[in-house]
Amino acid sequence: MRRGVHRRREIRATHDDIIEVQMGAPPRSRTVEFYHRRVSDLVAARLAATGRAWEEAVWDPACELSSADFQAIEDEFLASGQCFQMSARISLAEAPHKYQAPASADDDDTPLADERGRILVGSGDNVFKVAQDIIGVARFVSSIETVLDMLAHGVPPDTVAIIDDSGGTLTAPILEGFTAVVRKGGSVRSHLGILTREYQIPCLMAADVRGLRDGDRVQVEYGVAAKLPYAEGDGGRARVWKLP
């Protein structure tokens, strides 16, 4: 088990999903359930082969799962006709046979605008509550080239950074320049969630955002209650609106 490495880009299980599985709660994705069952069965088989109790066998190298074991599970998963749901565009570019392409905005049913002309385009877990909602310009930060350009020329004013899976490491050099952040992956306990909280940059994590394009004016409900770490339910889910 010690050498087994879950490569994040090839397993779409989020940290929240794994915690739910460990605690016995129903997983939120078929992918998590598939991997959980295959790993559990494999560990049980390795343990049974030793003929010893878990406490005795846990340090036995014969019970360890290797990268080859996880590759075999991945191959079985893909052979079943399922695909991973991408969290980063680079995943789809590097391995299109593994990932399900996201629906384009043109494929979505056109949502109705509210009485103020706003269109609901998504929601996410609020990392911390601020005094009021924030209005800004959606700018997608999905590549090193974008970060380097913003590093060289400055982050444009009122930037609400829409980040897929680049996280805190890639965006750290320009993080202070963001007015706010909406990240499509992770959880409020993720690296980027921690950094934005420390820098007091409003942030949504685990966001589901569709129908939004670079340059759109957006309003994000950072004024709602925060999603507490390890809390159950959808408390703190904040909405993202596209403005006319």
The predicted-structure confidence for 206-219, as pLDDT tens digits, reads as follows 898 888 999 999 99
Do 117 and 210 belong to one domain?
Answer: yes
Q: What is the pLDDT of residue 154?
A: 95
Domain ends where: 34, 68, 100?
A: 100
Residue 142 lies in a domain: yes
Do 57 and 161 belong to one domain?
Answer: no
Its domain, for residue 156, covers: 105-242
CA dihedral 32, 38, 44, 50 (to 10 degrees): -130
What b/e string do you get for 16-46 counting C-beta neighbours within 10 Å, with b at 16 or more? Answer: bbbebbeeeeebeeebbebbbebbeebbeeb
Do 50 and 64 belong to one domain?
Answer: yes
Do 232 and 118 belong to one domain?
Answer: yes
Do 91 and 119 belong to one domain?
Answer: no
The model's pTM is 0.61
**Cα angle vertex 166, ends 189, 18, to 5°?**
40
pLDDT (tens, 9 = 90+) of the chain, 244 residues, equals 333 333 333 333 444 444 444 444 555 577 888 888 899 999 888 888 888 888 888 888 878 888 999 999 999 988 988 888 766 666 767 778 888 776 544 444 455 677 788 899 999 999 988 888 999 999 999 888 899 999 999 999 999 999 986 667 788 899 999 999 999 888 888 888 889 999 999 999 989 888 899 999 999 999 888 877 655 555 568 999 999 8
Do 41 and 130 belong to one domain?
Answer: no
Do 22 and 82 belong to one domain?
Answer: yes
Residue 2 lies in a domain: no
Do 81 and 115 belong to one domain?
Answer: no
Q: Report which residue type is found at 83.
A: C
117, HSE (Cβ side, Cα atoms, 13 Å):
4
At 109 the three-state DSSP class reads coil
Do 118 and 209 belong to one domain?
Answer: yes
Residue 202 lies in a domain: yes
Domain ends where: 100, 119, 148?
A: 100
The CATH number of the domain holding residue 167 is 3.50.30.10
Do 191 and 118 belong to one domain?
Answer: yes
Do 232 and 116 belong to one domain?
Answer: yes
The number of domains in the chain is 2
pLDDT in tens, 58-111: 888 878 888 999 999 999 988 988 888 766 666 767 778 888 776 544 444 455
Domain ends where: 100, 127, 158?
A: 100
Residue 182 lies in a domain: yes
Residue 186 lies in a domain: yes
Do 75 and 189 belong to one domain?
Answer: no
Q: What is the pLDDT of residue 26?
A: 52
Q: What is the pLDDT of residue 161?
A: 95
